[in-house]
Chain A
Amino acid sequence: MTKSSPFRHAWILVLIVAVLAPMLVSSYNLNLLGRFLSMAILAVGIVLIWGEAGILTLGQGVFFGLGGYSIAMYLKLSTLPEGSLPDFMEWSGVMALPWFWWPFKSGLLALLAIILVPAVFAGIFAWAMFRRRIAGVYFALITQAVALTFATLLTSQQSTTGGYNGLTGFTEAFGMPLGTDQANRTLYWITLAVLVAVFAGSKWLMATRYGTLLRATRDGENRVRFLGYNTTPYKVVAFMLAAVFASLGGALFTLHAGVVSPAFVGVVPSIEMIVWVAVGGRKSLWGAVAGALIVNFAKDIISSALPEAWLYVLGLIFILVVTYLPNGLAGLVEDLLAKSRRPAAPEGALVEEGK
């Protein structure tokens, strides 16, 4: 992971451009950028769990949804007149607010829920799995089943979750009217700030002893065990962090998009999240952020021009990247940089341990 000198400070330039973006692009594009940066927060979490810990999870949509629904429930309740219920509940004939809606009357509790609910759920689930050493393909398939179950549950409980249409029609958040240019800009900067914090925090964490042990667990879990470590807590913490990042991303995305629905949390969106990181580079934080932006902008452009073509393109990208570019664009860029610096010296390629 050496960096070449000409690009060492490129991130400062990128950050300046990102901060000034509201002045540079149209409000439509700013909204898109805000959504995609929210997704990039989730992508950083996937780097931790998939790139660094080597655990493939196909259920990040669940945590994205937990964050999204937490904020959406608060937004629904905060603008309601005293004593009335959200519109879709009244249509379905629900008489009293369901118990799991109660905490979301308070903005503070809703914000806490965005962090705590996914952390607790991810913690219990991951502990149950990793304690019994369920890993690899098994773990991936179970997380996928969780995503399916969560989406089905949300869709079927129409009267208390908004069902297929999800929750939408938000007018203000924490006293700030939504939809104005001012609000969009503020929201964008908040999203950017969260992304920078999550990015910097992950970078720091991966440089600590914890990061080293996580990578060691990925490359040879039994060897780490023989050295006397219990690997379970390391993996559980990585899964929890990824879940919290996904939830933060989901909450911010919901604010930008003005809607959250089962369409964002199910099996297909969950795998699409993996696609962003696969394209960008599963072992690179900036690669994951770039991947989230590139894939989503491509999706926006292609699916508005040729709606039929997008799924073909997505499928093909996935096959090609996974087969020929396992470290994604970031891996490609790093290879090219390494080559341009030392054209003759062969890189001491590490042999990947076949598992």
Chain B
Amino acid sequence: MLDGALLAGQVFNGFSVASLFVLAALGLALSFGLMRVINMAHGEMLMLGGYLAYLTYLIVPGPLAILVAMPVAFLGAALLGGILEITVIRKLSARPLDTLLATWGVSLILQQGARSIFGPIGVGVTAPDWLNTGFTLAGVYFPSTRIFILAVAVIVLVALGLLIARTRLGLLVRAVNQDRMMAAASGINVRRVDLAVFCLGTGIAGLAGVVLSLLGPVTPSVGQSYIIPAFLVVVMGGLGSMVGTTIAAIILGLVSALSQIFVDVSMSQVLMLLAVILFLQFRPQGVIATRSRALED
């Protein structure tokens, strides 16, 4: 039953699932690390990205439409994220749990909005021909959509890493991350850094939405099916660390894919949750713990 090709195929699937988790969770982790808030409407940024991809396909058909759709979805989701940050999240900055609840209200409105505009059924985005192929290596089939998703995740991770490590914005982000008060005292406009990071995070979610649209129809609730695993990734990753988020996504992606060799999808969800709870018993601070002598963060 457990032959090598099946195992290799599921490991590949695991990494492919992990790359979706990374794309969905990165934005959450970024703003969680910086502001300690969780945006429950993050899943709807995925949804928005999916619908923007659908609209872009209508306007510019052709094999390269997806390459147009990605920046469109990034900008659209970043813009909506900016509006959300200014109108709701900023007002609640000292109350993380209330931010979570208020953004859930936003998520509900956005979902219902999509239902009113595009209908409850969902719209299909057809992948271009160059993504409809695949190849077989050592008995394992590699569909090119999955490879594309993996590539997008790696590119986003590298780009984000460079942005944080090499640019002036990244410097400011690291400063605010380390010590918000000190950063503010030395003249950094921390509110603007918050806003920039939040927009960046929702933009990445928009990008993830385009990628998701290659895998299935875009429905008003498409974000919901990815966002809860993404939350688990953030919890397991540890205080918004990029490396932690990536490692947590890979662990959970592999748990999800490998357990599906033995059990059905719903049981694999149970196992994923148990894996997180068990993991937190040993490392409650997550994969990457920030070293700190502060009693409360």
Contact = CB atoms under 8 A, between A and B. Distances in A.
Interface of A: 56, 125, 128-129, 132-134, 136-138, 140-142, 144-146, 148-149, 152-153, 155-157, 222, 267, 271, 274, 278, 308, 311-312, 314-319, 322-323, 326, 354-355
A318 B116 CA distance: 20
Given A137-B38, A155-B266, A145 B281 contact: no
Contact of A136 (B96, B111, B112, B284): B96
Nearest to A326: B98
A109 to B, nearest CB: 25
Interface string B237-279: 0000000000000000000000000001111011001001100
Contacts of B277: 125, 128-129, 142
Nearest to B32: A137
Interface in B40-91: 88, 91
Given A144-B228, A156-B265, A326 B112 contact: no
A132 B36 CA distance: 19
Nearest to B286: A138
Contact of B108 (A152, A274, A311, A323): A311
A132 B280 contact: yes
Nearest to B28: A141
Given A267-B228, A323-B91, A355 B105 contact: no
Contacts of A316: 105, 109
B281 A312 contact: no
Contacts of B97: 56, 136-137, 140
Given A316-B109, A318-B108, A267 B224 contact: yes
Nearest to A268: B108
Interface size class of B (residues with CB under 8 A): 35 or more
A223 to B, nearest CB: 10
A322 B98 contact: yes
Contacts of B96: 136-137, 355
A79 B97 CA distance: 46
A322 B95 CA distance: 10
B108 A315 contact: yes
Contacts of B265: 156
A153 B232 contact: no
A319 B224 contact: no
B215 interface: no
A222 B294 CA distance: 12
B38 A355 contact: no
Contacts of A317: 105
A149 B295 CA distance: 33
B264 A156 contact: yes
B295 A319 contact: no
Interface of B: 32, 36-38, 88, 91-92, 94-98, 100-102, 104-109, 111-112, 115-116, 224, 228, 231-232, 234-235, 264-267, 269-270, 273, 276-277, 280-281, 284, 295-296
A246 B157 CA distance: 43
B282 to A, nearest CB: 9
Given A137-B97, A140-B38, A314-B108, 5 more contacts: A149-B269, A156-B266, A274-B101, A318-B102, A319-B106
Contacts of A156: 264-266
B113 to A, nearest CB: 8
Nearest to A220: B296
Nearest to B282: A132
A56 B38 CA distance: 13
B266 A141 contact: no
Nearest to B266: A156
17 contacts: A56-B100, A134-B280, A137-B36, A138-B235, A141-B231, A141-B232, A141-B234, A148-B228, A153-B270, A267-B228, A271-B101, A311-B111, A314-B105, A315-B105, A318-B101, A318-B108, A323-B88
A323 B232 contact: no
A164 to B, nearest CB: 12
A132 B285 CA distance: 9
Contact of A152 (B105, B109, B269): B269
Contacts of A138: 235
Contacts of B91: 323
A311 B228 contact: no
A144 B231 contact: yes
A133 B284 CA distance: 7
Contacts of A315: 104-109, 112
Nearest to B229: A145
A222 B295 contact: yes
B270 A149 contact: yes
A354 B235 CA distance: 21
A319 B105 contact: yes
- For the complex of A and B, list the 7 residue pairs with the smallest distance between their C-beta atoms, beginning with the closest: A318-B105, A315-B108, A156-B266, A132-B284, A315-B109, A319-B105, A311-B112
